[in-house]
Amino acid sequence: MTIVAVVLLLISTAPAAASTGGAFTAAGGPPPPGSPSGAPATETPSTGALSLLSAQATPRKSFFYGFRYPSVRFAIASTQAQNDLQIDVVNTAGEVARSFYRNDVEPKVEVRIRWDGTTSEGRPARNGRYSFRIEAQGATTQPAARASTSTAPLSLGFALYGYAFPILGAHDFGGAEGRFGAARSGHTHQGQDTMAACGTPLVAARGGTVQYSGYQGAAGNYVVIDGKGSSLDFMYAHLAEPSPLQTGEQVRTGQPIGIVGDTGDATACHLHFEIWTAPGWYEGGSPIDPLPYLEKWDRYS
Ligand SMILES: [Zn+2]
């Protein structure tokens, strides 16, 4: 209850900071909003000799605008009853992507920080490994280390990626006829075909707003997603069944969007995938070659 009171106090006294909390919401099972970043203590920050009783970062891998934000739960030991803490998200080069502040934290009380994957400037953070760093506000010394009284393992690291590979199963990128720009009767191929068994689950490579979900003679069952925090739109075609997504709905990165099929103008089970530049799919944008993107996502998914 103490933590809740502290957070509410921060929101009521620091509206500017609260507005940077990254409170994404989505229809149909949204995660709770991201933690407010908070603000540093207004008076001189005060912290006793600080150490960590426990710290657990979860999950090990997350996606920007995904179902589960990276989060850390921790409890401190301190020689002081109330401690002003700074929690940084740092990359492997030691650069700080985002900072959070929690004031008047008591020893042995669990604190939870959730990161929405955006930098201090509000942009999606780069792909890679990160860790949470917990220290006293204004500290020029080392971050808090394990308390000598604690045997709990400290786990502060995780990975964050901007995109998920859209096919959850065996797949291959096929031959020349499936490439972007391949000749078709009367036009050129606007996407990349990726072969996979009918029924293989598909997920959103990047979440955002469902721009269109429906059926068309050539595309079969298809869905178009306007990517959150991205200028790109993503189109998935030939789904075996209509996508469960409705036009206008919010979808998270990695969220199921349907299954591989061969509806519409298709001779085999595969995903036809398009990427469109701003302002978007049939909104004045242009299709670009998705294969380099798919290959990159495939390497880390
Ligand atoms: Zn195709």
Find out whether 264 and 204 touch, Cβ atoms under 8 Å. Answer: no
CA of 190 to the centre of ligand 1 (A): 7
Q: What is the mean pLDDT of residues 147-152?
A: 86
CA of 218 to the centre of ligand 1 (A): 10
CA of 163 to the centre of ligand 1 (A): 21
Which of 145-149, 158-162, 254-258 is predicted least confidently?
A: 145-149
CA of 66 to the centre of ligand 1 (A): 27
pLDDT of residue 140: 72
Q: How far apart are CA 206 and CA 212, in angstroms?
A: 15
- Count of Cβ atoms closer than 10 Å to residue 237 Cβ: 25
Q: How far apart are CA 221 and CA 123, in angstroms?
A: 33
3-state DSSP helix/strand/coil % of the chain, to nearest 5: 10, 40, 50
Structure tokens at 241: 């069944």
CA of 18 to the centre of ligand 1 (A): 45
CATH superfamily, with its number, for domain 176-300 = Glucose Permease (Domain IIA) (2.70.70.10)
CA of 287 to the centre of ligand 1 (A): 12
Question: ω before 279 within 30° of 0 (cis)?
Answer: yes
Instruction: Report the chain's mean pLDDT, rounded to a whole number.
Output: 89
CA of 235 to the centre of ligand 1 (A): 11
- Confidence label for 133 from pLDDT (cuts 50, 70 and 90): very high
CA of 194 to the centre of ligand 1 (A): 8
How far separated are the first and last CA of the chain, in Å rounded? 38
- The CATH architecture assigned to 2-161 reads Sandwich (2.60)
CA of 275 to the centre of ligand 1 (A): 12
Find out whether 21 and 100 touch, Cβ atoms under 8 Å. Answer: no
CA of 36 to the centre of ligand 1 (A): 43
pLDDT tens figures, 69-114: 999 999 999 999 999 999 999 999 999 999 999 999 999 999 999 9
pLDDT tens figures, 52-73: 999 999 999 999 999 999 999 9
- Confidence label for 249 from pLDDT (cuts 50, 70 and 90): very high
Q: How far apart are CA 273 and CA 224, in angstroms?
A: 10
Q: How far apart are CA 87 and CA 136, in angstroms?
A: 9
CA of 273 to the centre of ligand 1 (A): 7
Beta bridge partners of 192: 273
Which of 41-45, 154-158, 260-264, 269-273 is predicted least confidently?
A: 41-45
CA distances from 252 to 23, 24, 60, 62, 192 (A): 14, 10, 18, 11, 22
CA of 180 to the centre of ligand 1 (A): 8
User: Domain boundaries in the chain?
Assistant: 2-161, 176-300
